[in-house]
């Protein structure tokens, strides 16, 4: 149990276009999902916390109008990188909290999405 998927696994886009990344909890319901960004050889940096049915909470320094997050259901959250630029190229990873687990603070991570902006 506690499997999280992401789609796509990688994407290449032109500068100025928008890219949507999906994060799904496959075998559990996730009231809360998180979006992280990871640059090469660096740690994970939390971008935002997404709660089902409400607005996402963004970390300091993360532009909410650039990184649009929608948590429309208990199993799906999406991250849209709008007007992408080369500096947005990174590894984007989502995680989810399993509301059915006693350990409600355990985050299960997706496999990540490699975004390359040309």
Partner 1 sequence: GENVEQHPSTLSVQEGDSAVIKCTYSDSASNYFPWYKQELGKGPQLIIDIRSNVGEKKDQRIAVTLNKTAKHFSLHITETQPEDSAVYFCAASPPGLSFGAGTTVTVRA
Q: Provide the minimum distance between the beta carbon of 43 and partner 1 in the complex, in angstroms, as a whole number.
A: 5
Q: Provide the minimum distance between the beta carbon of 110 and partner 1 in the complex, in angstroms, as a whole number.
A: 5
Which parts of 48-107 interact with partner 1 (CB under 8 A)? 49, 93, 95, 103, 105-107
The footprint of partner 1 on this chain (CB under 8 A) covers a number of residues equal to 20
CA neighbor of 89 nearest in space, from 39, 34, 25:
39
Beta bridge partners of 50: 33
Q: Provide the minimum distance between the beta carbon of 16 and partner 1 in the complex, in angstroms, as a whole number.
A: 27
DSSP secondary structure string, 28-73?
S--SEEEEEEE-TTS--EEEEEEETTS--EEPTT--TTTEEEEEEE
Going from the C-alpha of 11 to that of each of 7, 37, 40, the distances in angstroms are: 9, 15, 16
Which parts of 27-46 interact with partner 1 (CB under 8 A)? 34, 42-44, 46
CA 4 to chain CA centroid, nearest Å: 11
Q: Is 1 in the site for partner 1 (CB under 8 A)?
A: no
Residues that bind partner 1 (CB under 8 A): 4, 6, 34, 42-44, 46, 49, 93, 95, 103, 105-112, 114
């Amino acid at each position: 149990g506690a499997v999280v998927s992401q789609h796509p696994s990688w994407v290449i886009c032109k500068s100025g276009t928008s890219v949507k990344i999906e994060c799904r909890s496959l075998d559990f319901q996730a009231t809360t999902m998180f979006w992280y960004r990871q640059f090469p050889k660096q740690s994970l940096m939390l971008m935002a916390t997404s709660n089902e049915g409400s607005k996402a909470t963004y970390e300091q320094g993360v532009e909410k109008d650039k990184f649009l997050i929608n948590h429309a259901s208990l199993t799906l959250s999406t991250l849209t990188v709008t007007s992408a630029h080369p500096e947005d190229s990174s590894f984007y990873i989502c995680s989810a909290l399993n509301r059915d687990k006693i350990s409600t603070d355990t985050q299960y991570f997706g496999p990540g999405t490699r975004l390359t902006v040309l």
